[in-house]
Amino acid sequence: MPDKAEPLSDQFDPARVLNSEVVFDGAVWDIRRDRFAFGGDTLVREYVEHPGAVAILALDDEENVVLIKQYRHPVQVLGWEIPAGLLDVTGEDPLVAAQRELAEEVDLTAADWSVLAEFFTTPGSSNEAIRIYLARGLRATDEAFARTGEEAGMETRRVPLDEVVDAVLDRRVQNPSLVVGVLAAQVARSRGWQGLGAADAPWRWRAAGQSPGDSGR
């Protein structure tokens, strides 16, 4: 049997960074270059500096997942996603941002909020981190929101959770928040929805200094 060890947990290690600078100031996000100590050497890496984001696995009373279809130009795909948005408002609470995005993208509010999952999207090339909320007790907003850009004409669909899981396992959908969210929801449902995080649970990534508008350095 393997040796008994502490539960698995990522560890933040910001002390390695020796120097950090923005080398490209982009329209949406920047490119940052860090010099850091590793294994007795000094290494240099560039990565996308991202403000972070929230996503919402909205589940109705019939256990249908609320999905949107949106165009994503970097991969040139019109794909299915769950509602999501950037944490680009300085000081905004992630839960408030999630509630706003749910209303703005699918014209819904929710009575019950929990933290479902958190993940780094591409830790080798970006510091983007996403918190996924589970939203239940859905109802329509009083007014529909006007949508522009890639959100204009966005298709919305409600799909049974099991069918979305099948689409993930069949590799027919690729959005990471959708993939992580529906698989986490399937496991949470099998456990009677026990063990979900409180809606206001601390977010270790933010506590480590990686808050919107602040690289922590």
Active-site residue, from 101, 151, 155, 163 = 151
For the record, the structure tokens of 94 come out as: 């992630």
* Phi, psi for 160 (deg, rounded to 5): -55, 140
Three-state secondary structure call for residue 24: strand
To the query of whether residue 81 is one of the catalytic residues in this protein, the response is no
Name the nearest CA neighbour of 215 among 47, 45, 51: 51
Query: Is the Cβ–Cβ distance between 39 and 50 less than 8 Å?
Result: no
Q: Euclidean distance between the first and final Cα of the chain, in Å? A: 43
* CA–CA separation, 58 and 37 (whole Å): 42
Burial environment of residue 174 by CB neighbours within 10 A (0 to 12, 13 to 18, 19 or more): middle
For the record, the structure tokens of 6 come out as: 């502490």
Cα–Cα distances in Å, from 198 out to 49, 95, 149? 28, 10, 33
Q: Which are the catalytic amino acids? A: 151
